Amino acid sequence: MRLRLTPREDSYYDLFADSANNLVTASRLLVEIISDGSDREALAEKMRACEHTGDERTHAIMNRLNESFITPFDREDIYRLASNLDDVMDYMEAAADLIGLYQIDHLPKEVVRQVEVLERAAELTAEAMPRLRSMSNLNEYWIEINRLENQADQVYRRLLAKLFGGEYDALTVMKMKEVIDQLEMAADAFEHVANTIESIAVKES
């Protein structure tokens, strides 16, 4: 058996792409979960499977990092990017789980906008991952992610105003706020992914 002293760098790109594509799947599950009349229990189970897949991809990246003598870019950046992608998945799964646990039947319509932003951010992130190989044509990606995160902030603030506007009882406010907090943190985590990719591209340019 031949010993490989320089493991293939391509495996990192493939794993990052897999992680990002998994986020697209998760974001689309969220769209279904917040829809009235959906089978939330079954969808939450699919979301947990997504989260498990995301963990496997993250562990695979970390294991590859420990085994590699040569990496395509800084080890710290590989670790940070993998962790950021994992954070997004964790926040989306937590939001889905809370909706089911709290048995929230009807969410404010602004939550739909929150999830739409996450779905678009996931799609853009998945589209950007293959371009890591060449570090080209990434500017528009992180600019658009930052714009989407600003939109997410605005939606989040409107949601808070609605929740505390007297329409809901105190217990419902507490439940819904936990959900929208997780969705807001997912949007922030997408921005962290984009900022990490921007930092990598600057270093490699």
The pLDDT tens digits of the residues spanning 65-116 come to: 888 778 888 889 999 999 999 999 999 999 999 999 999 988 999 999 999 9
Do 82 and 72 touch, CB atoms closer than 8 A?
no
Q: Report pTM.
A: 0.92
Q: Name, in order, each residue with C-beta under 8 angstroms of 203's C-beta and a sequence gap of 6 or more.
A: 73, 74, 77
- What is the pLDDT, as a whole number, of residue 177? 97
10-19, 26-35, 52-61, 117-126: range with lowest mean pLDDT: 10-19
Q: Which amino acid is at 26?
A: A
Give the chain's radius of gyration (CA, Å): 18
Nearest to 26 by CA among 91, 83, 92: 92
Q: What is the pLDDT of residue 9?
A: 61
Pair 54, 83: CB distance under 8 Å = no
Among 54, 55, 158, 51, smallest CA distance to 96 is for 51
Q: Can you give the pLDDT at residue 25? A: 98
